[in-house]
């Protein structure tokens, strides 16, 4: 049973975050959806406020900015059994100093209408979501818990205006949840006392992500079982290392004629990837955005997966690949070294290092890995486990804000 308020009712959580799937972007922040859905299944009352960025004329930039989808996202929805509202907030590109105040102003009318109907605000992502939620919490007298994921502290926090906001607000927050220990250390460097910092690992759905027969999995997704496959799952964007991956695979493809690359996902650099892939004929498969079940099938069909990202927290693509018993070649950023803590699980490389990525992919392709051993070494809990731990932190914030 979940922790309850004095009147016996469940603790009521208002989650305020941009990082959540919507009808137009169903693959944006699926980890938040899974964790919150698991929290609801444990008996908590959860409402999601998923603001959508907007600015005048954004619709003319179709596909070039997230704000361009604002007109297509419904104002209210239900996703994974969770009630979701999609207020719009004015987003001014490149002026980071005003992002949090504009975000807070955009969601304030909805939050005001819900005053008295929630006990704690949970805000995944530090800026502008977390800072805006801290401002709203002070206005309403409600405790706020901010959850850190990676890019917020490893990238955004290095922007001077963002850093100033974090130093001003983070020391006053009720709790900070980090998905990895390096992220907790980053939050502490911005003035958060260790007593308010908690590491809550993301979970994995073992009913979906689990070892399967590789040959059958290849046939299942239409790949040739006689060939080997490197799979990348994620946004097709520069910051995810896709350009380094393209350069590395040029070399791998030249020296290993039986190896293909599968790119699962979309992003602002999708067209650049397509143009590059044309030069390699059928050696590169681009699937676009897929649902969770299809993603799991591609992991199972892979010989290894890769994530050459510049910055991460605890990336779910690494969690899910390991849960499928597939080794990972990834950059040693954020919480990734904590996840790939054994050479029997894959290899770590520096970011933006094409020769190192190329060599690691080739070594991993030649090495024999034990799928069941990878799963045992991972030691990852379920989303229900993760949600239960999250609930403990939220309860603590309500009891002792």
Across 173-182, 251-260, 379-388, which has the greatest mean pLDDT?
Answer: 251-260
Q: Work out the average pLDDT over 261-281.
A: 95
Judgement on whether residues 240 and 148 belong to the same structural domain of the protein: no
> 16: domain range?
12-203+382-399
Indicate whether 1 pLDDT > 50.
no
- pTM strictly above 0.85: no
Judgement on whether residues 49 and 182 belong to the same structural domain of the protein: yes
Q: Is residue 309 part of a domain?
A: yes
**Mean pLDDT computed over every residue of the chain:** 92
Judgement on whether residues 180 and 223 belong to the same structural domain of the protein: no
- In eight-state DSSP terms, residue 211 is -
CATH of the domain at 50: 3.40.50.2000
Judgement on whether residues 331 and 225 belong to the same structural domain of the protein: yes
Q: Is residue 76 part of a domain?
A: yes
Judgement on whether residues 259 and 271 belong to the same structural domain of the protein: yes
Judgement on whether residues 374 and 388 belong to the same structural domain of the protein: no
Give the per-residue pLDDT at 28.
84
Indicate whether 63 pLDDT > 60.
no
Indicate whether 274 pLDDT > 50.
yes
Q: What is the tally of structural domains in the chain? A: 2
Judgement on whether residues 27 and 70 belong to the same structural domain of the protein: yes
Judgement on whether residues 100 and 183 belong to the same structural domain of the protein: yes
Indicate whether 59 pLDDT > 70.
no
In sequence order, the β-bridge partners of residue 53 are 89
Q: Work out the average pLDDT over 189-209.
A: 94
How many other CB atoms are there within 10 angstroms of residue 290's CB atom? 18
Judgement on whether residues 56 and 175 belong to the same structural domain of the protein: yes
Cα within 13 Å of Cα(170), Cβ side:
28
Judgement on whether residues 373 and 390 belong to the same structural domain of the protein: no
Judgement on whether residues 314 and 387 belong to the same structural domain of the protein: no
Say if residues 150 and 312 touch (Cβ distance below 8 Å): yes
Judgement on whether residues 164 and 301 belong to the same structural domain of the protein: no
């Amino acid at each position: 049973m979940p922790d309850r308020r004095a009147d016996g009712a469940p603790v009521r959580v208002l989650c305020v975050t941009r990082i959540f799937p919507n009808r137009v972007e169903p693959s944006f922040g699926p980890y938040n959806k899974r964790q919150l859905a698991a929290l609801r299944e444990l008996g908590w009352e959860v409402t999601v406020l998923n603001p959508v960025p907007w600015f005048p004329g954004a619709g003319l930039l179709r596909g070039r900015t997230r704000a361009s989808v604002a007109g297509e996202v419904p104002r209210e929805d239900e996703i994974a059994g969770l009630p979701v509202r999609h207020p719009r907030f004015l987003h001014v590109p490149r002026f980071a100093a005003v992002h949090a105040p504009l975000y807070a102003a955009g969601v304030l009318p909805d939050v005001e209408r819900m005053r008295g109907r929630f006990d704690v605000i949970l805000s995944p992502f530090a800026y502008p979501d977390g800072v805006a939620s801290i401002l709203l919490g002070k206005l309403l007298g409600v405790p706020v818990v901010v959850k850190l994921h990676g890019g917020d502290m490893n990238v955004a926090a290095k922007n001077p205006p963002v850093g100033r906001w974090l130093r001003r607000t983070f020391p006053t927050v009720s709790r900070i949840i980090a998905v990895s220990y390096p992220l907790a250390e980053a939050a502490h460097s911005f003035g958060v006392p260790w007593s308010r910092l908690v590491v809550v690992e993301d979970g994995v759905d073992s009913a979906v992500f689990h070892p399967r027969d590789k040959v059958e999995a290849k046939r299942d997704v239409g790949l040739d079982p006689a060939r080997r496959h490197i799979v990348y799952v994620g946004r097709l964007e520069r910051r995810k290392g896709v350009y380094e991956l393209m350069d590395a695979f040029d070399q791998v493809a030249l020296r290993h004629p039986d190896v293909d690359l599968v790119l699962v996902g979309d992003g602002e650099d999708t067209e650049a990837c397509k143009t590059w892939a044309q030069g390699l004929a059928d050696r590169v498969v681009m699937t676009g955005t897929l649902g969770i079940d299809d993603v799991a099938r591609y992991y199972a069909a892979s010989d290894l997966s890769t994530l050459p990202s510049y910055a991460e927290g605890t990336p779910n693509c690494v969690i899910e690949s390991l849960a499928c018993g597939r080794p990972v070649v990834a950059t040693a950023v954020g919480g990734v070294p904590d996840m790939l803590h054994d050479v029997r699980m894959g290899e770590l490389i520096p970011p933006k290092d094409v020769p190192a990525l190329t060599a690691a992919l080739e070594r991993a392709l030649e090495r024999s890995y034990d799928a069941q051993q990878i799963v045992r070494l991972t030691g990852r809990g379920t989303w229900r486990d993760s949600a239960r731990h999250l609930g403990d932190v939220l309860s603590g914030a309500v009891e002792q804000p």
